[in-house]
């Protein structure tokens, strides 16, 4: 099925209109009409080939929300009209220990990422949500609860699960002093999630002008990391820090804000950033990383968001504005997630 899309033809090139071929759903697959797709900073890193090995032409987009429009003959979980989402991966081997544990994002064989990747045959390129429809195996589709507005729910498929998963995995509990570093697409959802879990949340931001927004989003406190003395003045304050920053920065000053046995989790994926051993050693602190979340946990996150009224703050754009949206995201000029309205491509 010929399907309109937007693609980057080469690294760093502007995205342009492009046509892709979506397959008819196989027996276990569904066809989804895409209504909205969030713009994740990972889209920009990959279009700009900042992680290496990028494949072009690239159709980015892994915060996909829409409706099931066709189902394969053996599909049991979905029917036409269901409101669904697709996140950062569309398939995995299903046999390895990670897949069997429901942590498909850590599949020991190559994961089929939603774009800039291949299907499980290792050959067929995957194309993401900057397009009007997508064909996906029914086991890799999420249900978007009716309580969530569809456009504001789209970013939960990456920004939501990427921040929910480490908050849960590392056992953040009510009353815990938690720091969220970077108030962007991931960070602003993380504030809402951590608050909904009952944590005492402090935003650490290099943008002093975001203070009022941080408090409006529910943060209890705000630290501008541009203020002199902010690091020395807040040593050993947090039990858990989530670092969502997209640009290289020294990790040590943040780690030193952790209490003894505290954990800092990196989800931001910038280039190499400095790290010294003493910051960890001095208080038996731990530095960890976390990648997205599995299908089961992503569904749990969406249901949690519906119960607690958590969704993204968005600026909706027609796809024709995508290149400007990339520039603005890199400049920090978005409150707090661009979401493409795919009606603009129909
Ligand atoms: P984003 O909306 O651009 O937000 C990034 C935030 O980082 C900005 O809002 C800003 O917050 C801070 N920042 C940016 N430049 C900075 C600089 N030079 N110095 C200090 N802070 C700076 O990006 P996003 O979509 O939330 O993604 C954030 C990162 O997470 C990206 O690297 C992305 O690739 C990665 N990511 C990882 C996963 C995963 O599974 N691990 C999933 C999705 C995304 P302040 O203005 O508040 O300082
Ligand atoms: Zn993402
Ligand atoms: Zn696997």
Give the start-end residues of each E strand in the chain: 2-7, 16-21, 29-38, 64-71, 83-86, 89-91, 112-113, 133-137, 142-143, 177-181, 200-205, 221-224, 238-243, 258-266, 286-289, 314-318, 337-341
Cβ-proximal residues to 104 (8 Å cutoff; 6+ apart), any chain: 89, 92, 94, 98, 111, 140, 294, 295
Closest ligand by atom to 95 CA: 3
Closest ligand by atom to 209 CA: 1
- 60 in contact with ligand 1, CB cutoff 6 A: no
pLDDT tens per residue across span 124-138: 999 999 999 999 999
Average pLDDT, the chain: 98
- 62 in contact with ligand 1, CB cutoff 6 A: no
> What pLDDT, on the 0 to 100 scale, is given for residue 19?
98
> What pLDDT, on the 0 to 100 scale, is given for residue 26?
98
Closest ligand by atom to 293 CA: 1
- 273 in contact with ligand 1, CB cutoff 6 A: no
How far, in Å, is the centroid of ligand 1 from the Cα of 244?
A: 5
Q: Are 69 and 143 in contact (CB under 8 A)?
A: no
How far, in Å, is the centroid of ligand 3 from the Cα of 185?
A: 28
Within its chain, how far is the Cα of 210 from the centroid?
Answer: 21
How far, in Å, is the centroid of ligand 1 from the Cα of 237?
A: 22
pLDDT tens per residue across span 67-105: 999 999 999 999 999 999 999 999 999 999 999 999 999
> What pLDDT, on the 0 to 100 scale, is given for residue 24?
98
- 211 in contact with ligand 1, CB cutoff 6 A: no
Q: Which two tokens stand for residue 77?
A: 């979980």
> What pLDDT, on the 0 to 100 scale, is given for residue 277?
95
> What pLDDT, on the 0 to 100 scale, is given for residue 111?
98
> What pLDDT, on the 0 to 100 scale, is given for residue 280?
98
Rg (CA), the chain: 20
- 94 in contact with ligand 1, CB cutoff 6 A: no
The backbone region for 236, taken as left when phi is positive above 0, alpha when psi lies in -120 to 50, beta otherwise, is left
> What pLDDT, on the 0 to 100 scale, is given for residue 346?
86
pLDDT tens per residue across span 289-325: 999 999 999 999 999 999 999 999 999 999 999 999 9
pLDDT tens per residue across span 137-192: 999 999 999 999 999 999 999 999 999 999 999 999 999 999 999 999 999 999 99
Helix or strand (DSSP H, E) at 196: helix 185-196
Ordered alpha helix ranges (H), 20-106: 41-47, 97-100
Q: Which two tokens stand for residue 39?
A: 């713009």
How far, in Å, is the centroid of ligand 2 from the Cα of 202?
A: 23
User: Of all protein residues, whose CA lies closest to atom 34 belonging to ligand 1?
Assistant: 42
User: In the chain, what percentage of residues exceed pLDDT 70?
Assistant: 100
Residues with CB under 5 A from ligand 2 (ion): 40, 42, 158
Q: Which atom of ligand 1 is nearest to the CA of 289?
A: 41
pLDDT at 51 over 90: yes
> What pLDDT, on the 0 to 100 scale, is given for residue 200?
98
Closest ligand by atom to 100 CA: 3
5: nearest Cα among 71, 73, 77, 60 = 60
Cβ-proximal residues to 208 (8 Å cutoff; 6+ apart), any chain: 224, 226, 227
pLDDT tens per residue across span 243-264: 999 999 999 999 999 999 999 9
Q: Are 104 and 92 in contact (CB under 8 A)?
A: yes
Residue range 104-132: mean pLDDT, rounded: 98
> What pLDDT, on the 0 to 100 scale, is given for residue 211?
98
């Amino acid at each position: 099925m010929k399907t309109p899309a937007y693609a980057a033809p080469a690294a760093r090139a502007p995205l342009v209109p492009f046509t892709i071929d979506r397959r008819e759903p196989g027996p276990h697959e569904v066809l989804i009409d895409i209504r909205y797709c969030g713009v994740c900073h990972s889209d920009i890193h990959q279009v700009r080939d900042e992680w290496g090995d990028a494949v072009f032409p690239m159709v980015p987009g892994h915060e996909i929300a829409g409706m099931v429009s066709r189902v394969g003959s053996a599909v049991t979980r979905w029917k036409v009209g269901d409101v669904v989402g697709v996140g950062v991966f569309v398939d995995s081997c299903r046999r390895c220990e990670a897949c069997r544990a429901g942590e498909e994002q850590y599949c020991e064989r190559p994961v089929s990422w939603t774009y800039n990747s291949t299907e499980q045959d290792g050959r067929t390129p995957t194309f993401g949500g900057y397009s009007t429809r997508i064909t996906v195996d029914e086991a890799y589709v999420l249900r978007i609860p009716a309580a969530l507005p569809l456009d504001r729910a789209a970013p939960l498929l990456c920004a939501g699960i990427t921040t929910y998963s480490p908050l849960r995995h590392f056992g953040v509990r009510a009353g815990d002093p938690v720091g969220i570093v970077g108030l962007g697409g991931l960070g602003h959802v993380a504030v809402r999630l951590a608050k909904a879990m009952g944590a005492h949340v402090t935003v650490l931001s290099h943008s002093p002008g975001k203070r009022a927004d941080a408090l409006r989003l529910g943060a209890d406190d705000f630290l501008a990391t541009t203020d002199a003395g902010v690091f020395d003045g807040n040593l050993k304050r947090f039990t858990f820090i989530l670092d969502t920053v997209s640009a290289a920065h020294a990790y040590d000053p943040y780690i030193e804000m952790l209490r003894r046995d505290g954990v800092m989790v990196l989800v931001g994926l910038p280039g190499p950033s400095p790290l010294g051993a003493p910051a960890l050693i001095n208080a038996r602190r731990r530095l960890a990383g976390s990648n997205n979340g599995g299908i089961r946990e992503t569904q749990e996150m969406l249901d949690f968001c519906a119960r607690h009224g958590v969704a993204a703050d968005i600026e909706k754009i027609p796809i024709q504005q995508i290149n400007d949206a990339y520039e603005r995201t890199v400049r920090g000029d978005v409150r707090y997630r661009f979401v493409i309205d795919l009606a603009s491509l129909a």
